[in-house]
Structure 1
Amino acid sequence: MRVMLLSVLFVLLLGEQTFAGPRSVKVGFFANSGYHEISEKGEKGGYGYDLLRLMSRYADLNYEFVGYDKTWNDMLRMLENGEIDLVSPASKTKELEETFAFSLPVGLAPDYIIVRKSDTTLLNEVNYAIRQMNVLDPNWMNRLYRKYNGDDVFDLLLLSERERRFLQGFWGQDRMLKVTARNDKFPFAYMDGDVPRGILLDLFAEIARHNGLKYEFVTTYNESQPLIVLDARYGMAGGDESWIFTPPYFRDQLLDSNDSLLVGMHIAVPRKYPRELASILSKGVMMLSPKLVRSKIVKYVGFRMPNYSSELLHKQSHIATVFGSIFIVIGIILAASLVWLAFRRKLKNREEELDYKLREANAFAAEAKEAKSKFLLNMSHDIRTPMNAIIGYSERAERHLDSTADVQDALKKIRISGGYLLQLIEEVLDMAKIESGQVVQKKRMVNLPSCMTEFCETYQPMMKVKNISFIWDTSSVKNRFVVADVSNLRQVLYNIISNAQKFTPYGGRVVFTIEELPCQVDGYAVFDFEVSDNGLGMSKEFLEHIYDEFAREQSSTQSGVQGTGLGMSIVKRLVDMMGAEIDIQSEIGLGTTVHVRTQLKIATEEDVALESGESCAEADPALLKGKRVLLVEDNEFNREVALDFLQDAEMVVDIAENGLVAVTKVREKGVDYYDCILMDVQMPVMDGYEATRAIRKTYPHAHIPIIALSANAFEEDRQKSLAAGMDEHLAKPFVVAKVLSTMCSLMQRKVNVS
């Protein structure tokens, strides 16, 4: 017993020593403009105060600030007598070094923190913090100097007297530097027509602008010619005997895979040049912030989606797997969009605030993380439902290649599921506009029973997983064709039926019916969409808050069903926007019934004629046969898909990998050669907008039909295409019949203006 008590006491004493609290130190905080300041409200600030705050992240120290009314000489006396423990900024002198110990540099002057020579523990703790700051945030010193002294003062501190004299001579003689790149290509340094562009040229322009240096870009690299090389690396011809290398562009930890483009890359200055130039450029590179460097990389490289086609294409199931690969990529885009949506109102500019408001930032991050987790859990199965059908039916087509009927059935269901997945993507991306009230209702004529039947069929696989009996009935609908906002209606029903499936236990029942009711307005009818289930149900208390964001019934947690609580909030906003009404009845243990009632216009002959007239151009394949088309697309997979249906229509197709190649081909072939151009928007070298403007400028009195095929699907994207001179904007993944009918219509209207 005595041994056990001694052991416990030993552990407690050891734990007390191992996890001792921070040491309290007294800091000499004398009045020093820009370095130590106290406002009228008593708030502290200045370079020295921010320095200590940065150090507190790594040093096990708490500060007590004393002596604001004292002088620098008072500080030295107080430090020597033990009244304070440290003070800065101090410059190294023989006199001070005899009495005090100096830290690592904490300023560009350079400046130091000084402590008593006997206080080695404190000195080690201070130096440890400074080393951590130098490793994790190499630009902290430059950033603080700019904050309190501005760029001009920073330059005076950074440049030596010899360097300033060199610059004055350079300016006075109006000299010009010549820079080059060993590999003058995209995205590093290249010529775009007569304009030099590229990541390295943009970065050098920042350094040159800062120091008033004039320069020109030389495209031909010659080892014997003494030029400044922007993409130099150690080990290049001549080595250190011929070149002076600046520090690398990237000195931080890498936070983005695209950063590897510049890893190990320097500016090389010929040793024949004045040494002051190499020194100025080295300091210029050191002044480049990681944020600026990454912004230049993103400007030219951006985000590139990996190409999965080579892994998915199967020799004996080409058609089915093409559909599958398209929708898998769409699913990935949807997942990224959901994350963006969850953080859209949460992520703000926190770059500088993180240093001063740690508690607020941590709380903000925790809230955003929770919102993201809840949102993704709720949407996970909604993405997987159509994706499961796509992958499953693709595999089925592979197994039954000899059966035409099975393959056609699989392809049909892949197309239906893919269309639904695409619709889901468009609706998710429109949620941001719902919040700001900018969603535009898109009403069109629709066969309501047929549309709802197709909509319900996509739920069958999901219902079968839980052996739920899913029944839908549209027999009471008398006026089948109506004018409705199908997108918003689907989104409302999607959330309601999804909730019914989630909160109905295994072997339960979900019933969806549509009832047509009379309306007092001529030419309209009221449709009652009812979704009922025999699931968990909800309490009356919870029904009062069901439309609140992230609202959830406690019983749903007990059941193990995951959900975010956003679905009904979205439903309520859409229902109000549609001018409809919603009613929910529920009891715990008995299930839930939801009614959505909306007034819809009954379609007339005029609506039917307009709807059918949109695709009438497709009925004349003879108009497309033999027509010459220029397909402008940088993605090989997309080119293959488009080339296939264009050649099936017996059209003559030319290929251009980017906008610049397209402009060149149009100029070579002449104004009357191509009957139509299909133009991608986002491409390297020259995008679709620039290419279209160049073609229109080349032939201002002729009009070649140009159709944008773009993954940018918003209305503002369409307006941007039209403003660039295109005739129409079709969103990817494109519908073949829609593309051909649009081409047919535009070629019929083609007119050459003299």
Structure 2
Amino acid sequence: MRLQQKSLLVTLPLILIPTIILGWLSFHYTKDAQVQIENAKLQADVTYRSNAMQNYINNAKSALQFISSSGDIKMLRTRVVRDLPYSLAQEFIVESFETFATAYPDTESIVLFTKDLEPIFGYANPAIQLNIDDVRLTLSDQVWRLISKQNEAPKIEIQLPLIATGEDIEDGDAHWGYVQLILKPSWLELFDLPKDKTSSSFIVSDLQGKLLFTYPYNNVGTTLPSQLFERLLDSARKLQSSDINDGSQKVFFTGKIMDARYLLLYGMSESNVRHHESNITLLTVMIVLISVVIAPMLLFYVFSRHVIQPIEKLANAKQQVAQGMLDVKLEVPNNDELGELFAAFNVMVRQLVVYRENERESRLRLEYKVKERTEELEKTNYALANSNRDLEVAKQISEQANDLKSAFVANISHEIRTPLTAILGFTEQVIADMPSSKYQMDLLTRVLKSGKHLLALINDILDLSKIESEKLELEVSEFDMFELFNDVISILSSQAADKDLEFQFNQHFPLPRLVRTDATRLRQVLLNLASNAIKFTAEGFIHIDVRYIQQTKLIEVTVSDSGIGMSADVQQRIFTPFVQADVSISRRFGGTGLGLVISKSLTHLLGGDIRVFSEEEKGSEFVMNFALSLDNDEFETPLINNLEELAEVTPSCDLHENKPKANAGTSEKMVGRVLVAEDVEDNQYLFGLLLQSVNVDFVMVENGEQAVEKALIEDFDLILMDMQMPIMGGIEATQLLRQAGVDTPVYALTANVMREDIDRHLKAGCNGTIAKPVEKQEFFKVLQRHLAADRETEPEFVLPEAQMKSLRENYLTQLVSQCSLIKTLIHDQDLAGLRSEFHKVKGAAGSYGFVELGAAASVCEVTAKEHLALDICDWTILTNEFGDFVQLVEAVLANNSVQS
């Protein structure tokens, strides 16, 4: 919206509204003034007519008094008094009355009365007949009065007393008679009434409302209504007007009281009054309309000329400056605000010219600096790009290192578990065979213990790797907490008894019976904390306290001991991987420093934490807590309030007695057929011995392809499938069997026991996993689950010493041929063949005591596997690395007196 329109829109109401209000007030004030003027005019009219009537009567009275005082009347008085005839004076009296009648043509009669009111002489207008005997005189204080008869115009009666003076008074009485004058005036002329009978009205009445005269001569009766008369009389007294509606129109009357005896009313019709008012109203409206139209136009013209036009001129100049025309100069119109604005604009333009010159110089300097900075920035960007490339390479190396670490941990676990399977299996079998001397039994027991320790270390390293890579998954289930503690205490109590330590398990009721968490990981944390307490306590006590914090829904387990304790500095470092209190601790008690790190991480995953309170030489206290429900699912769990309730729900639980649970029982021999797919000959022999110990018929194959053929042709009750085999692996073989409709239970034989590996086995169709090294009890449980039972005593896995020696010799003989084959494959640069052979050596060497050879084979297998994924292989490096392995094989054969 333009400024002109805005100004008009803003100022127009400011002008129109006051003007209309003032016009409206002027109209009403003018109307009221006009009413007052009309009222004054009516009042003046009635006063004028009242005065005309009063003058008329006064003139008649004066003339009549003049006649009464004439000599003729005195002569008549003398005659009357002296009782003499007055015929001699009659002529003179008649002449006087005729002279009066000539002066007042309205005279109807003049009659003289005696003091006793007897008429003695009369004069009458020739137009009427006067009977003097009928004339009566009404004496009163009134000098004159109106005489009205029906259907006749009123007459004026004037009566004056006759009073003698001077020598005429003989008897002392000056009042000797009366004279009566009857006038019949022309009322239209007397009151100057208009001939237009519709424009005005005239009424004469007495003060009782009796009508004496009306004009126009309407048939309005003889008396005014009392209420109407009172209103008219009151307005006359107040010199105001009052309106009367006669049925056809409204008439405004103004009254005048005459001689306190008569009421004169003069009225004007409403149309005649409004005619004057309409003229005034029209004039007022025209003035207002002219003001409403002319004032905005005048204002718009003045505002446009003195404000809008200079502003438009300023806007045009601004537009020119914006287009770059800096030679614009405005002439200052007036010495006012706009003039100051024009002057300021001129100053601004001059400053703009100066600024533009400065800007040009600054731009040149800036361009030069920008050029310098650009060159510097290019150099910096180049250096930064090099740094980014270095960082990217470092990032890739780090990621590759991390991936290699994870792959290495998984691979090393597999590779170590494979020989451990044979080591632990054969060791247990030799122990079961009852060696001939205690010395041999002691050595075998130490070997078995070291193997299990090595297996525990592998498990810790795997757990730590999965925790650091955030790949550790929990298996949440609902189980009886007291049964779990019963299993843990049964293990710990025997360990404490071996060191002759006081072992107490204290339950602080109430305690929930059921919990929802990972039972395996909870058992692992509890065993680790308590085993540490037993390990670092030479004498004294081991106390385990269990509490339930209902507010936080956390179960708190406190493990306290009277062991060696720790300093504050050590307490801050014990949860760091591979860290122990000091080197002496490792020498005295062993361990890798992973147990507490893994336990704390697992406790965090279980919804809790571990805290430690310790003092050197006074013992330690570990407080761990875990969530009642790990997945926050609502479930009902009864609260056990005392030992009696606990005995009722779990009568076989002996936690309160702190005794290990006896694990005696019998086992069963198995009946059925088992298919075993295993590519390592030593493991084949080991699984064969285990199956033979329970009289199970089995078939042994070397790869997955043969396993598929056998399973499709023959019937088996159970299939044990190694996952890594030449030609066809276990996963591919299991998938083919499931696709062919074979529903025989399949268990994976593998050293890869990470969660993702187990999930991959189950997804392929396996029913479960048997980890390497094989635990005999777990292995026999799988057999019992799927094979028929033949109840006998628990099978014993027996491996005679002669058989063990024969197996070792056979392996060394086989190793000679393997060494020759490896040399040929190196010469032929056959990476795939070399990988297969390295895998065979890795899986079997450890089982026969050649641990170093198995580790070297594992490294060579990894190297072959990595170079198989590359398009170009550096055989110079590979030949040297594989040659070192051949030399190691030859050294093993030489040390065992076997020729290669």
Q: TM-score range by the shorter chain?
A: 0.3 to 0.5
Higher helix share: 2
Structure showing greater Rg: 2
Pick 1 or 2: higher relative contact order, CA cutoff 8 A, min separation 6.
2
**TM-score, normalisation: structure 2:** 0.32
